[in-house]
């Protein structure tokens, strides 16, 4: 993802653009524009080539800019219920290792008391620990029982 954000003011609201024109307008790749369309940028239905209204384009980009202003800080976990990044209640979280280097960071949302969790790598954990009190859960036991041969059925048949 490019760092600089397309300036929505470049889109003239009274004209419509093809995907190529939008790409040229912002100096971005056509695939980026197509990704916007997939992500919800409205187009004029049934027109070929695809036409995007300038006002739709401006509104879409403006919405994206505001949305992007809420990135998760290292110590924050996104709450799907509140639709916002949250710092876990009590500044506490639990780390459950999944692999040697990766695990789940879990906490409680301070606003809705729901479970919030996200992937976290061990490497990044050090930074998060500056802000949060992290407890380490024991590694999940490998469930091996199910993989054992079904000795019982053989026994019964004999
Ligand atoms: Zn919440």
In tens, the pLDDT along 36-58 reads 998 889 898 777 788 999 999 99
Among the ranges given (25-29, 69-73, 141-145), the one the predictor scored with the smallest mean pLDDT = 141-145
Summarize pLDDT for 85-98 with one digit per residue, the tens. 899 999 999 999 98
CB 125 within 8 A of CB 116: no
Q: How far is the CA of 11 from the centre of ligand 1 (A)?
A: 36
**Which are the contacts of 46, defined by CB distance < 8 A and separation ≥ 6?**
none
Instruction: Give pTM, 2 decimals.
Output: 0.45
Ligand 1 centroid from CA 94, angstroms? 17
The burial class, CB within 10 Å (0-12 / 13-18 / 19+), for 18 is middle
CA 124 to ligand 1 centroid distance, Å: 23
Q: State in Å: Cα 32 to ligand 1 middle.
A: 32
63 Cα–ligand 1 center, Å: 22
Position 3 scores a pLDDT of 52
How many CB atoms within 10 Å of residue 6? 21
């Amino acid at each position: 993802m490019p760092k600089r954000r397309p300036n929505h003011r470049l889109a003239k609201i009274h004209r419509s653009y093809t995907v190529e024109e939008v790409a040229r307008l912002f100096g971005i790749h056509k695939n980026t524009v197509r990704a916007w369309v997939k992500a919800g940028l409205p187009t004029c239905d049934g027109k070929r080539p695809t036409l995007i209204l300038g006002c739709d384009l401006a509104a879409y980009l403006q919405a994206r800019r505001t949305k992007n202003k809420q990135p998760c800080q290292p110590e924050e976990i996104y709450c799907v219920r509140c639709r916002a990044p949250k710092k876990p209640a009590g500044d506490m979280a639990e780390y459950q290792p999944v692999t040697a280097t990766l695990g789940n960071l879990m906490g409680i949302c301070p606003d809705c008391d729901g479970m919030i969790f996200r992937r976290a790598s061990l490497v990044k954990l050090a930074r998060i620990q500056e802000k949060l009190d992290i407890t380490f859960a024991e590694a999940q036991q490998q469930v091996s029982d199910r993989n054992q041969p079904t000795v019982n059925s053989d026994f019964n048949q004999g």
